Amino acid sequence: MIEEYIINFFHSYAYQPTMVYIAVVLLMLGSSFGLPLPEELTLLTSGFMAFIGLHPDLFPPPSPDAPVVNVHVLAVVSFFAVFGSDFIVYSIGRTFGSRFLESRFMSRFLNEKRRKQIERWTTKYGHWAAGIFRFMPGVRFPGHVACGAVGIKAWKFMAVDGSAAAVSVPTQIYLVAFYGKEIIAVLQPVKFVAFGVAFVFVVYLVVKHFRDSRREKRLSQMETGKQ
């Protein structure tokens, strides 16, 4: 049964905290660089593992002294993973400038309409645009690159983006960790089926992304060979 399988999956990793923290950092880094894996999905699923750790009566640990995902540690790790990843992306834009925005790599994330939209926002809102991009998964990566490329000062980017992340990241984790039982009750009986469908969809997007990238690379190599 899919519900039981997913519960067991999260149950097993809830008692492997180091692996969960490392996975959060890597997934957040990938998400900041445009990986089609919603940041929110990582936060909510890791928060659910913290919920399991807070309820050993409902989800017995494999041993009495088994380490567990700590909700407070998870919140701190997730915040710095998100904020650090955003700043790396900003730094790339600051280092390479507008030519990186116009590169072939960025063309995968920016069409003409989206490019003009990002330019309008960075021009109109300045450093405040960093906070807008933080809450927009579709333009988060190119938006943060643009913040660096247009010369927004690092301390202003850090202040705005850091404040936005400090509000949104821990909130999602604590909400699921402390109210997971109520959330599960409300979502019963379709909660895990819906999540399973969402998980499969995300995997499909990731596979499609890399498959399309490889196809474009092969076509580029073929065109180069004909020249």
Express each pLDDT in 157-175 by its tens digit.
999 999 999 999 999 999 9
Selection from 152, 101, 144 nearest residue 126 by Cα = 152
Q: So what's the pLDDT on residue 191? A: 47
Q: So what's the pLDDT on residue 38? A: 81
Domain boundaries, the chain: 2-188
Q: So what's the pLDDT on residue 162? A: 94
* CA terminus-to-terminus distance, the chain: 55
As a whole number of angstroms, the distance between CA 213 and CA 148 comes to 25
Percent of the chain whose predicted confidence (pLDDT) is above 90: 38
Task: Evaluate if residue 30 carries a pLDDT over 70.
Answer: yes
Q: So what's the pLDDT on residue 86? A: 94
Express each pLDDT in 5-25 by its tens digit.
667 778 888 999 999 999 999
Written as six digits, the tokens of 26 are 């890597």
Express each pLDDT in 100-148 by its tens digit.
777 777 777 777 778 788 888 888 888 899 998 988 877 888 899 999 9
